[in-house]
Structure 1
Amino acid sequence: MTIRGIKKDLLLLLLELGKNSHPNEFAALLKEDAGVISELNLLPGTITGSSSASIFFDMMPLGTHRAGSAHSHPNGVLRPSNADINFFPRAGKFHIIIGAPYRENDWKCFTADGEPCDLEVIP
């Protein structure tokens, strides 16, 4: 699977989810269609708090279009924690961190091994 970008509407929704969840984190899984991340799944049973969010992998939908994950960092730090690095490989290849104050540029994408990567925003 080659991911070439993320839909702008989805990115704006992720930023809004971060803002609405603040001061707690949120977590979601991302789905792609034809190489574009275009949907999210909020899983039942997800646990959120001010310093973490936990997804129950038993609740992950079946399918081959899982692209990765998105979650927020209410502290505004746009880099993965050690817990994130351990989580990323289980959830997919691309991972978006949304940070306070949740403006249009308050996000970064990372590979499953925690390396920053560019992701085009597609109108």
Structure 2
Amino acid sequence: MNIHGIRHDLLLLLLEMGRDSHPNEFVGLLRERDGIMEELNLLPGTVGRGDSASLLYTMMPLDTHVAGSAHSHPNGVLRPSSADVNFFPRTGKYHLIIGYPYGKDNWRCFTADGEPYDLEVIA
């Protein structure tokens, strides 16, 4: 699976979720179609706290279109922590970090090993 973009509407939703859950983190799974991230799945049992968010791996769908995850960093740091780098491979290949103050440029995409990845925003 090669991801090259994210739908603009999905990105706006993720930024809004960051604002709404602040000062706690949120986390969800991203689904793709034809190489474009299009949908967010929120899993039952997900917990968001001020310093972390977690989900139940047993609630993950058996779905070949799960591209990765999205979660927020209320501290505004747009880099993965060591906990993020441990989490990423368990939930897919591509991961978005949404950061405070949750404006249109307050997000980044990373590969499962924590390396930055360029992602096109698609209308």
State the TM-score bracket (shorter-chain normalisation). Answer: over 0.9
Residue of structure 1 in register with 2:57 after alignment? 57
The separation in 1 between residues aligned to 2:35 and 2:117, in whole angstroms, is 15
Q: Which runs of 5+ in 1 are unaligned?
A: none
Which residue number in structure 2 is paired with residue 71 of structure 1?
71
Residue 2 of structure 1, CA deviation: 1.2
After superposition, the CA RMSD in angstroms is: 0.4
Identity %: 68
Give the superposition deviation at 1:61: 1.0
**How far apart are residue 62 of structure 1 and its match?**
1.3
Give the secondary structure class of the aligned counterpart of 2:101. Answer: coil
> Aligned residue for 2:86?
86
State the match for 2:39 in structure 1.
39
Q: Secondary structure of the equivalent of 1:84?
A: helix
State the partner residue of 2:104: 104
What secondary structure is seen at the aligned counterpart in 2 of 1:43? coil
Cα distance between partner residues in 1 of 2:12 and 2:62: 26
CA distance in structure 2 between the partners assigned to 1:3 and 1:51 by the alignment: 28
Count residues with an aligned counterpart. 123
The runs of at least 4 aligned residues of structure 1 exceeding 4 Å deviation read none
Give the unaligned 5+ runs of structure 2: none
Question: Structure 1-normalised TM-score?
Answer: 0.99
